[in-house]
A and B are shown apart, each in its own frame.
Chain A
């Protein structure tokens, strides 16, 4: 009995001690990194990299849309330059930009421009964001190949996504309920689409949310009533890309229409850096903009800057 009591008291003391230790840790963590990314911020290499331009490794963090491209570029770059390392992680445009503002990364890949708020908070921290366009992309609206609808106006598309249009016959299709598919709210493409098409309206609450572009393609390819939006790189024969009309005639998503800006949902993909790129950051950016780097852009499925 006494032995048991002793064990319990030791256990209790240990737990209390460690919990206090835990509270102590969380306290200091709160003081250090109140805004973003405690984990990355704590890693010594990234902090050194940002300050020292001559380091042999750089860190990229940001858009998931740019991620496959940046990853392919980094692999090729490292294959050509042994001893130099380029680390690429996703997280989303907003997360990457926040990390750039906090001085945690060398390059923040983004599928949208920085907002005024973000630029302001960057300036407040002495960061001077410089934008480099690395490729073009177009958000493509897709339906099932058996759907008779092949073009939509912006008003129709907006109606479908904000909930005022729910039947395909209202936009010239069959009499069937529309299954509206969206990306999840953390996606940069979700925000671009909300800004450009919904113009600030909420997405209809009953829209199906898919965690990845692949899920949207699968659902649209097997559901005759579905509509979704994806990056240009993901178009394949199992789905049909719609032409869009925002008042200047119907335009199909093609490399040309995205490149000359006539496709209404064309957008640029960016690298954001603090100041003009220098050192390894410049080497990598130059590589991405080079002929070889731009051919990788085509391979991944986005549209290169120079044709």
Chain B
């Protein structure tokens, strides 16, 4: 009896220390990120960084303006959401509620494979196939635009949105559906009045995770958006080239001397990105709580 207790305690403590370690690692990452990011403000004022309209990191009159990068990320992510959320949720509803189980079993693994494709492959596909198509269909000087990035990002976020939404929809208790049908509601009324609302917290989580992937995506966007640090207008900006925050870090970190102002500027951009992701997670959490459907 004693040894069994001992074993329990050991397992408990191992798991406890692993989780403590995770928290500590996260704290240290924050610490290093913000420490290097804050050093930028020895040379540039915070206002110049947050409201600057130009990103000229290596010229003589260098300027570290966040706005073009921030709006670049924003417009590409917004485009991806507009494209991927309706499509993803519709696909999830189809797979879990409408499709023949055999078709659903066939579709699911394919969607999961889509999630496993490396982003550089998506980027290459976008560069070689989608970029010329966009250029021709809108007669643009180049097809490397925010729209191209949005479409690629949307495709990449789809598997996340579909699989998690599908899980949420499938886990809605069958009694709810049967009850609705018994009251005389049609299949479609049941789906959008009962099942989707009941699964809403899961669907919101799926959407937020999709956004999380979109905001943090680097490689594909670097390859297809043209990386032009100009503030995009809306909605015409979709047909212009943009540069995202992640692409800037990836582009410039390679050759930037460590400890220089430029180096700290890239860390500052990383800090902003971190804060944004953190806020998105907080929002996702609160949505989840607010819409929690009491099914018991």
Contact = CB atoms under 8 A, between A and B. Distances in A.
A209 B257 contact: no
Interface in A159-182: 176-179
B58 A185 contact: yes
A210 interface: yes
Given A19-B31, A202-B56, A209-B243, A94 B142 contact: no
A282 interface: no
27 contacts: A11-B23, A15-B24, A18-B28, A19-B27, A22-B32, A23-B31, A26-B32, A35-B259, A36-B258, A90-B254, A91-B254, A92-B255, A92-B256, A176-B141, A177-B141, A186-B252, A187-B255, A191-B58, A205-B54, A206-B240, A208-B142, A208-B144, A209-B243, A211-B250, A218-B128, A219-B131, A223-B132
Given A178-B141, A185-B252, A205-B54, A36 B230 contact: no
A10 B23 CA distance: 13
B222 interface: yes
Interface residues of A, number: 48
Given A22-B28, A35-B259, A208-B226, 14 more contacts: A18-B24, A22-B32, A36-B257, A38-B258, A64-B255, A92-B256, A177-B141, A185-B58, A186-B251, A206-B230, A208-B142, A209-B251, A211-B250, A222-B131
Contacts of A22: 27-28, 31-32
A215 B23 contact: no
A211 B227 contact: yes
B70 to A, nearest CB: 16
Interface residues of B, number: 44
Nearest to A207: B228
B281 interface: no
Contact of A215 (B20, B27, B56, B223): B223
Interface string A17-59: 0110011001000000111111000000000000000000000
B257 A95 contact: yes
Given A34-B259, A218-B127, A210 B227 contact: yes
Nearest to B142: A179
Contacts of B54: 205
Interface of B: 16, 20, 23-24, 27-28, 31-32, 35, 54, 56-60, 127-128, 131-132, 135, 141-144, 222-223, 226-230, 240-241, 243, 250-259
A191 B35 CA distance: 29
B27 A18 contact: yes
B24 A184 contact: no
Contacts, number: 119
A244 interface: no
Contacts of B128: 218, 222
B59 A11 contact: no
B254 A26 contact: no
Interface of A: 7, 11, 14-15, 18-19, 22-23, 26, 33-38, 64, 90-92, 94-95, 98, 176-179, 184-188, 191, 200, 202, 205-211, 215, 218-219, 222-223, 225-226
| A-B interface, 6 closest residue pairs, ranked by CB to CB distance from nearest | A92-B255, A186-B255, A209-B227, A177-B141, A179-B142, A208-B226
A177 B227 CA distance: 18
A140 B254 CA distance: 23
A3 to B, nearest CB: 11
Contacts of B135: 223
Contacts of A177: 141
A95 B131 contact: no
A5 to B, nearest CB: 15
B143 A185 contact: no
B153 to A, nearest CB: 17
Contacts of B142: 179, 208, 219, 223, 225-226
Contacts of B228: 205-209
Contacts of A176: 141
Nearest to B143: A223
Nearest to B60: A200
Contacts of A225: 141-142
